[in-house]
Amino acid sequence: MKWLRHLARPCLFAALVAIAGTAAAGDARARYQEHCAACHGETRLGGVGPALLPENLERLRKPEALNVIRDGRVATQMPGFSEKLSSDELQQLAEWIYTPVVPAPVWGENEIRASHVVDAAAAGLPRRPGRGLKGADPLNLFIVVETGDHHVSVLDGDKLERLHRFPSRYALHGGPKFSPDGRFVYFASRDGWISKFDLYNLVVVAEVRAGLNTRNAAVSSDGEWVLVANYLPHSLVLLDAADLPRPGN
């Protein structure tokens, strides 16, 4: 029976490791609900803060994520948790946000429609360049996406002076897309938000979350439509460029 005892030892060790891993995951999940869910969503799909899904974190390495959890992120609402969590707890939390969500998250027609936000006053905004542009040529504006603290600056293209700066959604990418007349600019964030900004009046006029992880967006040549390509879910979403509703809204 010695062979049976020898066989049992590695099996017992493997079982203990599995139990420990399950317990650690459960602890990390509980800490997430206590410290993170209010901003990042109970199911990690995002809220005030960005989505914390493996697909959305591909460009953020785990050591960098650990630093953010421990020390916070400057000029954002992200605090550090070094005084509330131990080193092991911080590490477990950083590991856990890179695990897939089970069951897989759903983001379909109903979720897109529910996320739609429109500035009620947008329809009454002047259709000519406003005072905020300070006489700058509206067709010669530079749009600077500031990834460090998630802001966008509007610059006078002739003087290279900042005219306006506003907070953006998390991790804009793919480059700004302009309407044919140059009045509106559209931004796509990595976690799926499409924002429409009025350059004449320097205000965000509409937003919608077209997916959970977005690759890019495009504006049609006639300025009537916005098409969004998503990694998660794998989809193409067509939006009415007027105020970003789904067709038929």
Question: Per the CATH hierarchy, to which homologous superfamily does domain 109-240 belong?
Answer: YVTN repeat-like/Quinoprotein amine dehydrogenase (2.130.10.10)
Tokens matching residue 77: 């609402």
3-state secondary structure of 133: helix
Q: What is the pLDDT along the chain (249 residues), one digit of tens a residue?
A: 555 455 455 544 444 333 444 555 678 999 999 999 998 988 898 877 888 888 888 888 999 999 999 999 887 788 999 999 999 999 999 999 999 988 888 899 999 999 999 998 988 999 999 999 999 999 999 999 998 788 999 999 999 999 999 999 988 989 999 999 999 999 999 899 999 999 999 999 999 999 998 999 999 999 999 999 998 899 999 999 999 987 754
pLDDT tens, position by position, 198-233 = 999 999 999 999 999 899 999 999 999 999 999 889
What is residue 19's predicted lDDT score, i.e. its pLDDT?
Answer: 42
Tokens of 39: 């901003």
pTM: 0.77
**What DSSP designation does 217 have?**
E
Q: Which of 216, 213, 224 is nearest to 184 (CA)?
A: 224
User: What three-state secondary structure class fits 205?
Assistant: strand
Residue spans of the domains in the chain: they are 2-96, 109-240
2-96 classified as CATH 1.20.1260.10 = no
Name the nearest CA neighbour of 156 among 179, 174, 129, 177. Answer: 129
- The confidence score (pLDDT) of residue 6 equals 54
CB 69 within 8 A of CB 89: no
